[in-house]
Structure 1
């Protein structure tokens, strides 16, 4: 069917209209319009040569994004990894630009996670797969640019596929909320690796740009840690999310996808994955001059890049064989909520005007690069059909109750041996007091008593709520103030928040310019103190626990007259301070005398202080 358009000189030129049944590059027949976003249309199409489904983006040549989309498609095609759905063709035809992609079958994370959060190890494995694919791309100077849950596909055979590589970022743009400058493509990829792990564990999204998933909660401009959102998150994964999403100059920083993948491999117990690759300079994928020459890009044909340019991932095959430690195939599962990127034929579109086809009226389609196909819920134990072992509970099956090779009667011998040992122990318990008890002259040995010190106390420690906590900087001059507004963060019960000192240029030891600084704790009344737990931000520190003498009724203004309960050098993390004896006092001082290195000097912080009696 033919249409027309008005040119700049007022004349009209004929052009072929795009609609269901139209051919792209004389080979790909458009079937279903799945999405239309800002003038760009996304179709399911059929490759008539190879009889397979493909995905096609169609955009008008006069669209301001057309040249950038072509460049992005060519850039994407230079990255070869089995976890990335490839660009098969890029065609300028009539008044349209057509980008043809591989088709995948499965469910995207934005549709899976609202109904089913992943177990921690499954989440770590999935994000590690994504990190390894991103590391391969970054090594070639190419970034995904829009690494959202919508663009991470869990296929029917249990593998991970990334969709919309480079192209999706161009089509949707990269705008930060609040007018702030968006991070670079490489930075946003690394940030979103942490956000994907966060989403798998909590169902919330903390990355850039926004996703269909609910936004992650914030606390004092920091993303709440996963353990604050959902119980049961392992501490290593909680720490990885926090360090990626809330980078601190004093803590560990993840700057590359390789580092994120290596940390997840360490958690999974597999240090072989995630090869250490160098990250090359970022490719400006909107600059055609940065691409290869047309001769070097000859791999873009109707049949896709040549097989010789597609080095197989170790252990991968034509049928996406399941790797050790990853979910097994869901051969009998039709994942929830999708139509596009699926292998099955979707229902035909209703007749529509070829010049303005309407998207398929299916509530399972969604905005994004690839709405995904599914017809039913994921199976659950006892709901008809056993789920794949890789995606069930993390608890291993109970071991068999018996050993088929065990010699008959050996169990009775073991039982007899255990009874014999118990008899000997019982005899020793009965006889020992008689041998070491009362002497011949009738005098008794003194009985041991429970120690009143912290190490010998027989009763459990009780948390003491302080009446107040203040910053303590006696050498601060006329205005001894040390970020007093942040002090409440040291006792709010949230390790993700912390009181921080000012930044000092001389260090790490504060002397001779300052003897030290810290926090003054008022217990409200004299209390027996057995332990003070301090969670330090980064490290190392030199610190002391100081106590005012009994009978002190006014808060100390200096360290004169205070008793040192315990001193530590080179401390970091959580530190339990206690003396040899119980201290009875009203005022305590956590006294820092050496601070860790920061970006532009020396700075310390205390995340939590807990007093126990």
Structure 2
């Protein structure tokens, strides 16, 4: 008879059948594998894979184990994936610790990973959406973790609400990188190109961002609109503005949840469009997504708010540095405001997807809404169609979600009376100092015996106004005409909280060895004398040059943008710090200036990036 028989098992004296073959034991709690791992609790079992929480008796720590039968054809792929995944050192991934194929007396093939204490995003979303800052932080961390692996040709391909854990300390843990795809392969997936695999991960990051901000799942418009991951399908609209008939589109996150900033919505929809071939701005790489989300969430504040949330969910004591009081927007939209906003949206876009047009053989998911006092889900005005009665979902114990932790503590306000006294004292002090300075200067001037007039005194010169700013990344030099183009205005917007970043490059500070550099071009509106340019840089050291066109024609309507060889260097700093000033030997009259980076500082993990916080041009 073929096959392997299961029975009770002792590793010291394994059972055998009449032919002498080892009998595979039943996987039950207490079973010891490889003389080291003791099974504790079965977490899931499907598609021939059993997932267990186990204990590593050697290191006395919990681990996660995937068990497969010895004859499972997937094990070769799983072992190969485990070897690759084991090389990843980024702490945002659950590490692969061990893998073994069943041979001899070893009854089960298995893969061992870290075990993280926390909640999956699927569990977290059972209580509603998170704040826009928290969503941006979570997906931004995932994108920045995936970007260097994408550059090595390694992709997750199974990103979902169940593949991300938020630990009780508010940390992000990505589950199943490479392993999940090997355990659950899809037909033809091994034939996908690099770009196709990258597109899958980026699309899934966009879907996660959408679900985190709306607690709905963006089901592709051409698929049956049923629930996924315990979430209802995202609301669809009919957009007739294209002139080509009706096109189904998801409502933007800020339309579904009014507490979400439009900037977060913009990034979300840009991440979703490319995979579906939709018209509009798109984000095509994990680097693009990470860079676009950078700045939308404060890393410290978002991390602290997640920690507060997780400690509340796990009924742990809130640490002293995470007070309950907060000035943040509530993580749930006001129910009345959500209803009003969605009703207004319906008035402007009256066409909804008529569910009665769905294929009759597809069973539609039952609709339900939470209680009126906790209605965070979108409330849409439905067309008059016959629908079955609303059925309540299975009872789930929920707890009020705590408000996020506040930003870092600010200094206490000074009472107005005391403030007034301090201002008076300071003013008196300034006046005294000013008088002393004037007296000293007067003495110095008198002692020199000169007859200088007031017309000889230097006068303050206003800084040069900047008309416009754009990035410089010509294809002829190896670029793609997009060095974070959308962020370029941040380099000179007068706001030091915004930054234009270069893209992130791997293994080589000289732009990954791909091109000589990249930069920012400034249009001064007309030809003006430039004596110096002061830069506030994102990090250091950065090799930076100040350049003007070789053919410095002030009447030209645009600067040379074909190659950097059309520009000449007038000042440089080979190791610019966080603040650096570039001054040519003599003032240069020009309309066009370029700040050009040739070498970038490290940001960790063999990655290199810099950026411009602010630019000040002086005559």
Q: Does the pair score TM above 0.5? A: no
TM-score by length of 2: 0.44
Higher helix share: 2
TM-score by length of 1: 0.45
Report 1 or 2 for greater relative contact order, CA contacts < 8 Å, sequence distance ≥ 6: 1
Q: Which has the larger radius of gyration?
A: 1
